[in-house]
């Protein structure tokens, strides 16, 4: 799993945060290369943005060498205690304090392949170490569904960016 950047504790109002598993997916399913993922995504009717296509081909995108299961949890920036939004580092730091880890980058395309019943208009940002895109910007996978279908896309993270309170991140549940 990736490194999580620690920060000071955030002040949370309300009850304890629920860390239930949203979905369990498989990694290391035999897809080994960017082209394997591209073909599988295309053959299963998914759409892939040009940015996501680019980071699939980046050497920083790696896959599990053997099949493993990973439990995923969804938390919004607001649920993590940041009512006015927060930087990626603060979001990841708070998640780490709660027992959540970053996802391997493979979670992005695997979640897209294994989450066929995603509700329309849902967007999930994969909490991962960003990968530099072709233009050098840091990018993270986003899995979404809209009227045009199921998508694997990317979100950019520039230094100092504030991620809005309503945005939802997918984290790996710590074993």
Opening angle at CA 58, ends 147 and 33, nearest 5: 80
Please count the other Cβ atoms lying within 10 Å of the Cβ belonging to residue 124: 23
So what's the pLDDT on residue 175? 80
pLDDT of residue 19: 81
Rounded to whole angstroms, the Cα distance separating 54 from 154 reads 10
The pLDDT assigned to 159 comes to 81
Give the pLDDT of residue 160: 87
Sign of CA dihedral 162, 7, 52, 169: negative
CA distance linking residue 102 with residue 62, whole number of Å = 14
Give me the tens of pLDDT residue by residue for the chain, a chain 175 residues long: 333 323 333 344 434 567 889 999 999 999 999 999 999 999 999 999 999 999 999 999 999 999 999 999 999 999 999 999 999 999 999 999 999 999 999 999 999 999 999 999 999 999 999 998 877 789 999 999 999 999 999 999 888 899 999 999 999 999 8
For the chain, which residues make up each domain, given as ranges? 23-173
**Quick one: which H or E segment has residue 146?**
strand 138-146
Other residues' Cβ atoms within 10 Å of the Cβ of residue 21? 11
What local confidence, expressed as pLDDT, does residue 173 receive? 95
């Amino acid at each position: 799993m990736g490194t999580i950047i620690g920060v000071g504790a955030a002040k949370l109002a309300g009850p304890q945060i629920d860390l239930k598993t949203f979905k369990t997916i498989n990694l290391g399913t035999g897809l080994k290369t960017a082209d394997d993922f591209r073909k599988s995504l295309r053959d299963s009717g998914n759409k892939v943005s040009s940015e996501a296509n680019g980071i699939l081909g980046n050497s920083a995108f790696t896959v599990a060498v053997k099949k493993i299961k990973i439990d995923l949890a969804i938390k919004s920036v607001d649920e993590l205690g940041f009512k006015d939004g927060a930087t990626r580092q603060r979001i990841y730091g708070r998640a780490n304090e709660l027992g959540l880890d970053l996802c391997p980058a493979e979670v992005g395309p695997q979640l897209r392949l294994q989450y066929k019943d995603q509700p329309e208009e849902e967007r999930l940002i994969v909490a991962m170490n960003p990968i530099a895109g072709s233009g050098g910007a840091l990018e993270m996978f986003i899995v979404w569904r809209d009227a045009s279908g199921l998508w694997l896309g990317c979100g950019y993270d520039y230094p100092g960016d504030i991620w809005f309170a309503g945005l939802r991140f997918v984290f790996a549940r710590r074993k």
